[in-house]
Chains A and B, each alone.
Chain A
Amino acid sequence: MRSPMSRSQAPSRAARAAALACILILCAPSAARGSAGAGPTRPAAAGPAALLPAGALGYSPVGEDRLYSSETLFDLIDGGAEVYRAFNVRRVASRRYGRRGAPDILVDVFDMGSSRDAFGAYHHDMRDGRDPGIGDESEIGGGALAFRKGRFFVSIVALDDTGPAREAMLALGRAIAGRIPRPGAAPEVLRLLPAEGLDPARVSYFHDWTYLNTRCALAEDNLLLLDGETEGILARYRGTGGGSGGAGTGSFTLMVVRYPSAARARRALAGFLSGYLPAADADGVGRRADGTWAAARAAGELVVVVLDAADRPGIGRLVEQILRARGR
């Protein structure tokens, strides 16, 4: 059995945290990376199929390309389609590449409609592997390359993890990235997250309750009144030992949801407290039956929620930090 990628090949946690901190502070479209590639640059207006290169490093297309809509994506990836439908996937182009004596490579280009939803699709999986510097964000490891650029999320999978297949995946990835003219920004709401203690590999973006429940099972009822007009960030924080950014001293989960209006945020808060934290005090802080602490508060169009805290969370301080970040 092939041995797993050495951990020394992966960037350090500090390096990844620094990278995410840059996103939080700047929240600007990341500079185009890995844009050099085979083939002319074409606008992406024609859709995901136009991004598929003719080949790379001896690999050429095998069989017919497949195009999928949001409704037919189940034909490609079964129940996995729900992940990308939760992020408003528009179309997917799928092509298989082959080379004699080498494992085939599957390439799937997802048109997510927006860079924030491409972010959500990319970060559905925990991203703690090596970054080869393709697109806005990228990860390679174990025979798979994934990246996002602009409104596109791209998956490239080799059916076996060999050196030549890896090189071909990188070449294909760079070629595809080169055909996407503009980089994309991470969701605006991401920059509201306090940096201290944040685990950058465990940040999830979401729109609706069904998807949120796959990340963090709260209740079957849509307590936070989430729908296609809302967006949220769910992030895990490590214990900070009482540092300035933490909700207490232990680890916890932070959720920030943006609503179309302050009124809707207030209604969502009321529903959440009633359904999830009925014993909350006037500050919106309460202890759950399992002994963990939770808290929720509204601030303008935002609802801030702390979950799974080992001690009484300093949600007031967290809200202040988030509002300061919003005001920048």
Chain B
Amino acid sequence: MRPTAARWTRREFLRGAASAALVGTAGGMSILCGAEGGRTARVVLVRDPDALDADRRPRPEVVARMLDLGVAALLGAPSAAAAWERLVRPGDTVGIKSNVWRFLPTPREIEDAIRRRVLGAGVPAERIGVDDRGVLKNPLFRRATALVNVRPMRTHHWAGVGSCIKNYIMFSPDPPSWHDHACANLGGLWELPAVRGKTRLNVLVMLTPLFHGKGPHHFQARYTWPYRGLIVGSDPVAVDATGLRILEAKRREYFGDDRPFAVPPRHIRLADERYRLGVADPSRIEVARLGWTEGTLI
């Protein structure tokens, strides 16, 4: 079945792009200053009912369009191409830090869409790479000047949730050393030399998030659902906090109560309070919504 056009109009697109101005950047992230001087952040949530086919596989052209709209709206750019030209330069070496967890890996369709946009921004193909567990030994990542952080949202055995902040654990030579206190200090990963100041974009894949897990493999298909979304943002804490809200809402809907996570995902709040990595307080995160609104949950 041929996918239908995206549900958004040009007016919605421009409204999403212009609804909040970025007033400055700090350490490679965009942090907004609220009226009272407190830190605020902005993320873009993009959804499309045609993002998945009948087998829950991403439709390449649809998810690419979602990514384009989200990134353009995030940066207030007139087009996705213009947005990506602000994110990366032709002289950059760009590492796309993905996630290969076998039960819910980053879809190849999303990786390809990012790679195409980075190419389109003028970065030569030989200076674009995608990796996860091999990043420390990957020559391209060792000399990367820019990172794009992309992974699916899911619950996690030991951190509570696995999302953008945690996705950088493979940049550590000793990942288990970050597991103490339920991974409370994951925000510190972003201070590692291989990472610090390099992240240009965070993409939290919410196409089929995992909202609950049991057992050693922590995966059962019954605990995923076709949310059909992407969350993009410069602030990984805000992106994760927004994804967390959606998971919490889904758990309330499914279980009928506020069932706690097996492990509380404290690291998101602590990434804000302890590491000042970004904004975790939902009241200080603007969520710009584009596209499909049914079942948004937040």
Contact = CB atoms under 8 A, between A and B. Distances in A.
Interface of A: 1-2, 4-5, 74, 76-80, 82-84, 106, 108, 110, 124-126, 142-144, 146, 155, 157, 159-161, 210, 213-215, 217, 220
B244 to A, nearest CB: 16
Residue of B214, B259, B266 with highest tally of chain A CB at under 10 A:
B214
A79 B220 contact: no
A143 B158 contact: no
Given A84-B216, A143-B221, A210-B180, A126 B157 contact: no
Contacts of B179: 79, 82, 210
Contacts of A143: 220-222
Interface in B200-236: 214-223, 225-226
Contacts of B263: 214-215
Given A82-B179, A210-B180, A214-B263, A125 B214 contact: yes
Given A74-B176, A210-B180, A124 B218 contact: no
Contacts of A4: 222, 254
B181 interface: yes
Given A1-B226, A124-B262, A220-B181, A77 B216 contact: yes
B221 A80 contact: no
Nearest to B214: A125
Contacts of B158: 79-80, 82-83, 214
B223 A79 contact: no
B47 interface: no
B168 to A, nearest CB: 14
Q: Which 6 A-B pairs have the closest CB atoms?
A: A80-B157, A142-B222, A214-B182, A142-B220, A125-B214, A214-B263
Interface string B238-269: 00000000000000001000010011101000
B73 interface: no
Contacts of A106: 217
B117 interface: no
A47 to B, nearest CB: 17
Chain A residues touching B, majority SS: mixed
Contacts of B180: 210
A297 B218 CA distance: 37
Nearest to B220: A142
Contacts of B216: 76-77, 80, 83-84, 108, 110, 155
A161 B101 contact: no
B213 to A, nearest CB: 8
Contacts of B157: 77, 79-80, 82-83
16 contacts: A4-B222, A5-B222, A79-B176, A79-B183, A82-B176, A110-B216, A126-B259, A142-B220, A157-B217, A159-B221, A210-B180, A210-B181, A213-B182, A214-B182, A217-B182, A220-B184
Interface residues of B, number: 31
A170 to B, nearest CB: 16
Contacts of A124: 262
Contacts of A5: 222
Interface string B131-164: 0000000000000000000000000111100000
Chain B residues touching A, majority SS: loop
B133 to A, nearest CB: 9
Contact of A2 (B215, B218, B222): B222
Given A4-B222, A160-B221, A213-B182, A125 B215 contact: yes
Contacts of A157: 215, 217, 219-220
Nearest to A103: B221
B262 A126 contact: yes
Given A143-B222, A213-B182, 18 more contacts: A79-B158, A79-B159, A80-B217, A82-B179, A84-B216, A106-B217, A110-B216, A125-B214, A126-B259, A142-B220, A146-B214, A146-B215, A157-B215, A213-B181, A214-B182, A214-B263, A217-B264, A220-B181
A275 to B, nearest CB: 15
A77 B176 CA distance: 12
Contacts of B101: 78
Given A1-B225, A79-B156, A82-B157, A217 B215 contact: no
A161 B264 contact: no
A9 to B, nearest CB: 13
A12 to B, nearest CB: 15
A148 to B, nearest CB: 12
Residue of B101, B157, B219, B266 with highest tally of chain A CB at under 10 A:
B157
B55 to A, nearest CB: 12
B37 to A, nearest CB: 26
A79 B177 CA distance: 11
A40 B183 CA distance: 44
Given A78-B101, A217-B182, A144 B220 contact: yes
Contacts of A108: 216-217
Contacts of A161: 220-222
A143 B217 CA distance: 12
Given A143-B220, A143-B221, A125 B262 contact: yes
A4 B214 CA distance: 15
B47 to A, nearest CB: 17
Contacts of A213: 181-182
A146 B179 CA distance: 25
Given A80-B157, A82-B158, A217-B264, A155 B217 contact: yes
Residue of B157, B216, B225, B263 with highest tally of chain A CB at under 10 A:
B216
Given A210-B181, A213-B181, A220-B181, A77 B223 contact: no
Nearest to B160: A214
